Structure 1
Amino acid sequence: MKLPRRRFLAGSLAAGAIASPIGIVRGQPLAFASDPFTLGVASGSPREDSVVLWTRLAPRPLEGGGMPDSPVTVDWQIAEDERFARLVAQATVQATPAEGHAVHAEAKGLRPGRHYWYRFRAGNALSPIGRTRTAPATGSTPAQFRFAFASCAQYEQGHFAAYRDIANRDLDLVMHLGDYIYEKSWGSRLVRRHEVGIPTTLSEFRDRYALYKLDPNLQAAHAAVPWLTTWDDHEVADDYANDRSYTTRDPAQFMKMRAAAYQAYYEHLPLPASARPRGPFATIYERYRFGDMLDVMLLDDRQYRSPPACVGEGRPTTVQDCPERTLEARTMLGSQQEQWLDRQIASAKARWTIVAQQTLMAELDRPNEGGHRFWMDGWDGYPNARRRLLDSIATHKPRNPVVIGGDRHAFFVADLKRDFGQARDPVLASEFVGTSITSQGPSAASMQQALKANPQLKYGRGDKRGYATAELTAARCTIGFEALDDEKQKDSAVRRLATFIVEDGVTGAKPA
């Protein structure tokens, strides 16, 4: 009998303490005085025959981890059942100090489109049990595919009740679109504290991730379903652009900090080996195929972007337009990623093409008596880069293109077109932006002004925290905006705020 999701998670997260030992025989195991699996387990990067399994050994998670300065042997298993009677694979890996004693194990030889259960052992300690799912086989079309997308989880501004709700849903995938952690404190009505200042070193970033990952709701969401993740700015520094940061003016100093931040990001998420950082550089953009139902292009719009326009050395806020903003050479993704994305869009064959990126792609003009005003940290600061991306969609015509994003701490629905100033310009793709997990949103007045001045925005709501869900079938894409009653309450309920659909073969979203 299939357990309800809530009961399954409660059982699996407790089972690590009582499960029978993993059957790899060696000498006397390392004896831990306290649980090294305090940060839980996770899976990610699902393919039709493989998945990445993650954990990190950290018996003292907020004190650098509390591990010895030497490698530790870790065993892992993956099975077709939660009792591990039908093992599929098991192996031994080394958790090293250089990677914070994190483990990224790629389980291969799996069957497509099915659930698996996994666990780890280190010495005398057993991990919680996680559940994952492989991608459907190429050439197959599942009856439906469900995923959630989330972003912007400022620890101090609310509890992670939205992650609890994600854990309790029947999902095939979670996509986190950035700001998984926050480097700084801000906002009002804080319910808990970082307790320390802004991280700049690897050990400090490790402790910040550990603080967030100690949250049981975040652990439950990771243990329930595989994730795809990309970063935005707060994993490093507010509103940074490539090697430029208004908070750390010296590029060499900033790149040293970025290297530490990228390393800590990799150490704490179920990323493939291809995403392992090389100093301050890492390739995290990637394409994922889920049968013939959907193609996912997961983008990185931070690492390669041009410096912000119209603000000099200052913070990229909403400012008056200037000629620099529309220079053709300005890029959001970098030329190499732009070319890669064009090739992926050209070869997309699935029924639904999902471009998963960090922020609102549609134009959001803030006009005043002096002319047009734009937010220079988003796509409006790089309009020709946006045009090139939409040109690629117009040229290659992938089936049912849908763009998803986060970052704005608000729900949005938008029509994407080459020229937002032309009402008759054809709609090229539908866009959905999820609100923040906890981070406070824009005022009602600013949202009303944005909707009034920008007819391409079909919906906008910034007063609610939560996330979005997507259900794909052959006939339609259904997007649900899932909103918390109150992110300040640990046990907040989550309710559907609005539902939109995109019909197969029809560009543009409409209310359900």
Structure 2
Amino acid sequence: MSNFRVSRRAALAGALLARPGFVFGQGGAPALISSDALRPRAQWGASAGDVSADRAIIWSRADRLSRMQVEWSTSDIFRDAQRVLGPHATEATDFTGKVDLSGLPPDQEIFYRVTFKDPSGVAAEPVNGRFRTVPVSRRDVKFLWSGDTTGQGWGIDESRGGMMTYDAMRRTGADFFIHCGDTIYADSVVAGEIHYPDGSLSRQLVTPEKAKVAESLAEYRGAHRYNLMDRNVRAFHAEVAQMWMWDDHEVVNNWSDSKDLTANAAYHEKRIGALRANATRAFLDYAPLRTNPDEAERVYRRVSYGPHLDLFMLDMRSYRGPNTYNRQEAAGAETAFLGEAQLRWLKNGLQASRATWKVIAADMPIGLQVPDGKDSQGRPVFEAVANGDGPALGRELEMAELLSSIRAGNIRNVVWLTADVHYTAAHHYHPERAKFRDFAPFWEFVSGPLWAGGFGPNALDDTFGPEVVWQKAPGTDNAAPGENTQFFGEVQIAGESGDMTVLLRNMSGTSLWERRFTPAGG
């Protein structure tokens, strides 16, 4: 359906990137040197992120002090290439670098190559990638979403093909991918050997940083590098533009400012603030994300993708109050989830949007109960919005305010996409089934994990009237990736009609459920 076109040369490159033994991104060397040991290396690949009609972030990493340079062209042989000198890659950013390309032509396939040159002038082999800029007129658009990479001890086993969900996503030819969070599992240790339920042994790649929980800045950065050791991940990043969010596992499981690690023997550093500081720095080093001039560490943002689509990517982690019993009757600091500033930004952005579809990408689902142990009184503590059946209480008060504003503003065609719960589902919310009824019906689609243990399904909360229209979950905890319990979602928007088709796919790319939606009139 998408108008995304793959040239024969580019398609061949993609096939090579995914092939075992292929060294990612190596092409013609800019300079002849006597030993590869003297040459900088960029073996972690490259990615394009936060693409607009005329801009894109290009990310890559070297292995030593060097300077980043990006060349780009609308030709896959780099005819009339433009060259942009980027930042120095130093220890301060773990040798990562980002270049914000500007002046790009809209709705064009852009080919780029990244080179790092050390202080003596010796250059790394170039790392190649491509993406398509955002259309300014109506055309078909295809994008993907999911979350949760390298969780519950499931890592890279090259003999089993590595993280194969990424290869299935690459083969869709999508315009871009939304990572809804848990881009790493900083709190999950990867063992060298792990048994599948059938008794077979999986031998996984292990690095020093993934042999323990992440606490130091170096360990958090190492968790991000670990994922880039997988050839499927690198090839996917090179061909599909990225839009990253984050959730809890970038720091520690179910974190908020009130997280108490006192009894957790795995952590020597008990201060959640210190862990958050290190994790945030590492995430921003490795995410192909454009920083905000008003708030340098802000993750939530809006991306307009042509006349039919506005994306609102949320941060349900940074501004939340503590995880509690979550049944407060009045709004306050404890009931914050998006936080006042982000909630205001989202309401204003939705009201101002003139796109056919307003897609809200969220860290967590609205109507599924996500438990987080018990409080001192033995009551259940909740990690997400839901807190058991209605009325609207606790964090649900903030969600009720948002949903009411959407209805009052007559804002049509709002769709929610999320991950987090490690299974896939289609949920329909309707006031006729709800305890809180001041909202318009809407859909929420859940899909994940990308490469982690399978879980679920979770219990519903009736406050906003969710109905499970379809779901697929393993029914057991920490189901192995090899049991085909990995999922991603796909959205196709027809340029001519504006119709939206949502598909929920498994790790091989097979469509398990799909439905076409016609946009409501203004």
Q: TM-score w.r.t. structure 2 length?
A: 0.79
Amino acid of the residue matched to residue 469 of structure 2?
K
Choose which of 36, 48, 51 in structure 2 pairs with 1:46: 51
What CA deviation, in whole Å up to 9, does each residue of 1:318-362 have, x standing for no partner?
Answer: xxxx743x4322121111111111111110110110001111113
Report what 1:113 is aligned to. 107
Q: Describe the shift of the 1:343–1:14 C-alpha distance in structure 2 as closer, same or farther (beyond 3 A).
A: same
Report what 1:458 is aligned to. 469
Choose which of 8, 14, 21 in structure 1 pairs with 2:13: 8
2:213 is the counterpart of 1:202: no
Deviation at 1:428, TM superposition (A): 3.1
What CA deviation, in whole Å up to 9, does each residue of 1:153-180 have, x standing for no partner?
Answer: 1253264111111112211110000011
Q: Secondary structure at the match of 2:350?
A: helix
- Tell me if the contact between 2:24 and 2:231 (Cα under 8 Å) persists in the aligned partners: no
Distance (whole Å) between structure 2 residues aligned to residue 296 and residue 495 of structure 1: 25
Distance (whole Å) between structure 2 residues aligned to residue 426 and residue 506 of structure 1: 17
Q: Describe the shift of the 1:475–1:277 C-alpha distance in structure 2 as closer, same or farther (beyond 3 A).
A: closer
2:441 is the counterpart of 1:428: yes
What CA deviation, in whole Å up to 9, does each residue of 1:43-64 have, x standing for no partner?
Answer: 1011111100000112xxxxxx
Choose which of 162, 181, 186 in structure 2 pairs with 1:183: 186
Amino acid of the residue matched to residue 128 of structure 2?
I
Gaps of 5+ in 2: 1-5, 118-122, 156-161, 197-201, 372-378, 388-394, 475-484
Distance (whole Å) between structure 1 residues aligned to residue 432 and residue 182 of structure 2: 30
Report what 2:290 is aligned to. 272
2:250 is the counterpart of 1:256: no
Report what 2:175 is aligned to. 172
Q: Secondary structure at the match of 1:274?
A: coil
Report what 1:487 is aligned to. none
- Tell me if the contact between 2:25 and 2:43 (Cα under 8 Å) persists in the aligned partners: no
2:492 is the counterpart of 1:471: yes
2:293 is the counterpart of 1:299: no
Where in structure 2 are the equivalents of 1:316-465 lying within 5 Å? 323-324=327-328, 326-329=329-332, 330-364=335-369, 376-381=382-387, 382-417=395-430, 421-422=434-435, 427-443=440-456, 446=457, 450=460, 456-463=467-474, 464-465=485-486
Amino acid of the residue matched to residue 179 of structure 1?
D
What CA deviation, in whole Å up to 9, does each residue of 1:300-331 have, x standing for no partner?
Answer: 00000011122xxxxxxxxxxx743x432212
Amino acid of the residue matched to residue 72 of structure 2?
I
2:88 is the counterpart of 1:85: no
- Tell me if the contact between 2:360 and 2:416 (Cα under 8 Å) persists in the aligned partners: yes
Deviates more, 1:83-92 or 1:116-125: 83-92
Deviation at 1:74, TM superposition (A): 2.0
- Tell me if the contact between 1:390 and 1:428 (Cα under 8 Å) persists in the aligned partners: no
Q: Describe the shift of the 1:353–1:30 C-alpha distance in structure 2 as closer, same or farther (beyond 3 A).
A: farther
Where in structure 2 are the equivalents of 1:63-102 lying within 5 Å? 67=64, 71-102=65-96
Deviation at 1:481, TM superposition (A): 1.0
Question: Percent sequence identity over matched residues?
Answer: 21
Q: Describe the shift of the 1:458–1:186 C-alpha distance in structure 2 as closer, same or farther (beyond 3 A).
A: farther
Distance (whole Å) between structure 2 residues aligned to residue 424 and residue 273 of structure 1: 37
Report what 2:391 is aligned to. none
Report what 1:488 is aligned to. none
Choose which of 145, 152, 160 in structure 2 pairs with 1:149: 145
Report what 1:499 is aligned to. 514
Report what 1:244 is aligned to. 258
Deviation at 1:252, TM superposition (A): 8.7
2:256 is the counterpart of 1:213: no
Distance (whole Å) between structure 2 residues aligned to residue 344 and residue 19 of structure 1: 46
- Tell me if the contact between 2:175 and 2:241 (Cα under 8 Å) persists in the aligned partners: yes
- Tell me if the contact between 1:349 and 1:399 (Cα under 8 Å) persists in the aligned partners: no
- Tell me if the contact between 1:179 and 1:233 (Cα under 8 Å) persists in the aligned partners: yes
Aligned residues: 456
Distance (whole Å) between structure 2 residues aligned to residue 419 and residue 500 of structure 1: 22
Distance (whole Å) between structure 2 residues aligned to residue 163 and residue 85 of structure 1: 30
Distance (whole Å) between structure 1 residues aligned to residue 35 and residue 57 of structure 2: 25
Distance (whole Å) between structure 2 residues aligned to residue 29 and residue 399 of structure 1: 63
- Tell me if the contact between 1:49 and 1:109 (Cα under 8 Å) persists in the aligned partners: yes
Amino acid of the residue matched to residue 182 of structure 1?
Y
- Tell me if the contact between 2:66 and 2:90 (Cα under 8 Å) persists in the aligned partners: yes
Deviation at 1:247, TM superposition (A): 2.7
2:26 is the counterpart of 1:17: yes
Q: Describe the shift of the 1:440–1:451 C-alpha distance in structure 2 as closer, same or farther (beyond 3 A).
A: farther
- Tell me if the contact between 2:150 and 2:451 (Cα under 8 Å) persists in the aligned partners: yes
Q: Secondary structure at the match of 1:228?
A: strand
What CA deviation, in whole Å up to 9, does each residue of 1:351-376 have, x standing for no partner?
Answer: 1100011111135599xxxxxx9771
Amino acid of the residue matched to residue 438 of structure 1?
W
Q: Describe the shift of the 1:88–1:428 C-alpha distance in structure 2 as closer, same or farther (beyond 3 A).
A: farther
Distance (whole Å) between structure 1 residues aligned to residue 168 and residue 99 of structure 2: 27
Deviation at 1:390, TM superposition (A): 1.0
Deviation at 1:76, TM superposition (A): 1.3
What CA deviation, in whole Å up to 9, does each residue of 1:272-292 have, x standing for no partner?
Answer: 1328986xxx20110000111
What CA deviation, in whole Å up to 9, does each residue of 1:29-50 have, x standing for no partner?
Answer: 9985365211110010111111
What CA deviation, in whole Å up to 9, does each residue of 1:46-97 have, x standing for no partner?
Answer: 1111100000112xxxxxxxx3xxx522221111112111313432431122
Deviation at 1:225, TM superposition (A): 1.4
Q: TM-score w.r.t. structure 1 length?
A: 0.81
Amino acid of the residue matched to residue 492 of structure 2?
E
Deviation at 1:496, TM superposition (A): 1.3
Distance (whole Å) between structure 2 residues aligned to residue 141 and residue 451 of structure 1: 38
Amino acid of the residue matched to residue 154 of structure 2?
Q
Report what 1:314 is aligned to. none
Amino acid of the residue matched to residue 354 of structure 1?
V
Distance (whole Å) between structure 2 residues aligned to residue 5 and residue 378 of structure 1: 42
Gaps of 5+ in 1: 23-27, 59-66, 311-321, 367-372, 485-492, 508-512
Report what 2:478 is aligned to. none
Q: Secondary structure at the match of 1:261?
A: helix
- Tell me if the contact between 1:6 and 1:168 (Cα under 8 Å) persists in the aligned partners: no
Distance (whole Å) between structure 2 residues aligned to residue 29 and residue 286 of structure 1: 47
- Tell me if the contact between 2:260 and 2:270 (Cα under 8 Å) persists in the aligned partners: no
Q: Describe the shift of the 1:169–1:4 C-alpha distance in structure 2 as closer, same or farther (beyond 3 A).
A: farther
